[in-house]
Amino acid sequence: MKQMKRTHLLVLGVYLLSSCRAEEGLNFPIYDGKDRVVSLSEKNFKQILKKYDLLCLYYHEPVSSDKVAQKQFQLKEIVLELVAQVLEHKDIGFVMVDAKKEAKLAKKLDYKAFEEAAEHFQPYIKFFATFDKGVAKKFSLKINEVDFYEPFMDEPTAIPNKPYSEEELVEFVKEHQRPTLRRLRPQDMFETWEDDLNGIHIVAFAERSDPDGYEFLEILKQVARDNTNNPDLSIVWIDPDDFPLLVAYWEKTFKIDLFKPQIGVVNVTDADSVWMEISDDDDLPTAEELEDWIEDVLSGKINTEDDDNEDEDDD
């Protein structure tokens, strides 16, 4: 990986030199002797990052005392200085990072941190990277920034304290990986169901293809967006169309009609459940009514144990 970066950087320098020769005739750029390439360290990193629109990094191993090796390194430095001189007016900076001397910084800047962090969560959480400036601009991504997208939210959360290490990325994702509203999918249904909150799940059934189901889902999204900072709230949305073979089982187990939207609290241990009363007319609960019902669930005012007590009284 590092070797590829070195090669690309040097090729860039040769390309720029040849371009200048072709376009400007005999006006071949000559190094003016001014030092522009900076040795990057943890101490000056943030200052350098703010100074340039684009920063090109050159990783290198410690230079040995061998005269040939030192001469080769000096030639590389001159090429980098000349490229930095040519591109100075475009606010593009060039820095060198000693992989041993600045090992901690080099590790943070290495793009492998993102790749290795992604491996911790595959295939359940998807990681995407772009090297296209237009795509980055569309998503308002800054250089070396990682944004975290929660399902059904309007805006992403920029992960703070860049540059990141693998450990920092993993820690952030683990802390935020449980969405306020998440869709139950066949490929990870067991993992989702095992990720309960205090032994319960708030479950909503809604068919996206059905007008009432679509409207109910939009209400759920609004509630989730309004309560996205509540760590105790996570609603599992199930589209019955995704699980045709389980519809009859769920209707029998939960004693509900899945031909209309439903929301309830389910005990993951014994599948006991309590469901919000939704009238059979065309009026679905408002976001405010849904929030009030959810607050009663989270406070314990509505719980599946009450249902057990009623059954005992009937006996």
Instruction: For the chain, 315 residues long, give each residue's pLDDT as a single digit of tens.
Output: 333 333 333 333 333 444 444 444 445 678 888 999 988 888 888 888 788 877 788 878 888 888 888 888 888 888 888 888 888 888 888 888 887 888 777 766 667 788 888 888 887 888 888 767 788 888 888 877 899 999 999 889 999 887 788 888 999 999 988 999 999 998 888 888 988 888 899 999 999 999 999 999 999 999 999 999 999 999 999 999 999 999 999 999 999 999 999 999 999 989 899 999 987 666 899 999 999 999 999 999 998 886 555 555 555
**131 and 153 fall within a common domain:** yes
DSSP string, 70-126: HHHHHHHHHHHHHHHHHTGGGTEEEEEEETTTTHHHHHHH-THHHHHHHHTTTTTS-
**95 and 193 fall within a common domain:** no
Q: Are 181 and 212 spatial neighbours (Cβ–Cβ below 8 Å)?
A: no
Amino acid at residue number 170: V
* Structure token digits, residue 222: 């609004």
Give CA angle at 250 (182, 306), nearest 5°: 85
**218 and 168 fall within a common domain:** no
User: Which residues, other chains included, contact 21 with Cβ-Cβ below 8 Å and sequence gap of 6+?
Assistant: 28
**220 and 235 fall within a common domain:** yes
Domain edge (last residue) among 124, 151, 176: 176
Helices (H), the chain: 2-24, 45-51, 67-86, 103-109, 112-119, 133-138, 166-176, 189-194, 211-226, 247-254, 287-299, 304-314
**243 and 226 fall within a common domain:** yes
Task: Give the span between the Cα atoms of 100 and 102, in whole angstroms.
Answer: 5
Domain edge (last residue) among 126, 155, 176: 176
**55 and 153 fall within a common domain:** yes
263 forms bridges with which residues in the sheet? Answer: 204
User: Which residues, other chains included, contact 206 with Cβ-Cβ below 8 Å and sequence gap of 6+?
Assistant: 213, 214, 216, 217, 220, 237, 238, 239, 261, 262
Residue with tokens 């190094």: 31
The pLDDT value recorded for residue 220 is 97
- Residue 12 falls inside a structural domain: no
- Residue 209 falls inside a structural domain: yes
Residue among 242, 229, 201, 223 at smallest CA distance from 292: 223
- Residue 92 falls inside a structural domain: yes
Domain at 201, CATH number: 3.40.30.10
Plot region of 300 (φ>0 → left; ψ -120 to 50 → alpha; else → beta): left
The pLDDT value recorded for residue 47 is 86
Amino acid at residue number 23: E
**261 and 207 fall within a common domain:** yes
- Residue 307 falls inside a structural domain: no
**284 and 163 fall within a common domain:** no
Within 10 angstroms of residue 239's Cβ, the number of other Cβ atoms is: 18
- Residue 27 falls inside a structural domain: no
Within 10 angstroms of residue 138's Cβ, the number of other Cβ atoms is: 10
Tally of structural domains, the chain: 2
Task: Give the span between the Cα atoms of 94 and 222, in whole angstroms.
Answer: 46
200 forms bridges with which residues in the sheet? Answer: 197, 267
- Residue 24 falls inside a structural domain: no
The pLDDT value recorded for residue 104 is 77
**Domain span at 157:** 38-176
| Rg of the chain taking only CA atoms, in angstroms | 29
Task: Give the span between the Cα atoms of 180 and 150, in whole angstroms.
Answer: 8
**207 and 246 fall within a common domain:** yes
* Structure token digits, residue 305: 């144990």
**192 and 113 fall within a common domain:** no
Domain edge (last residue) among 176, 202, 227: 176
Task: Give the span between the Cα atoms of 127 and 172, in whole angstroms.
Answer: 14
**168 and 231 fall within a common domain:** no
**77 and 54 fall within a common domain:** yes
User: Which residues, other chains included, contact 12 with Cβ-Cβ below 8 Å and sequence gap of 6+?
Assistant: 56, 83
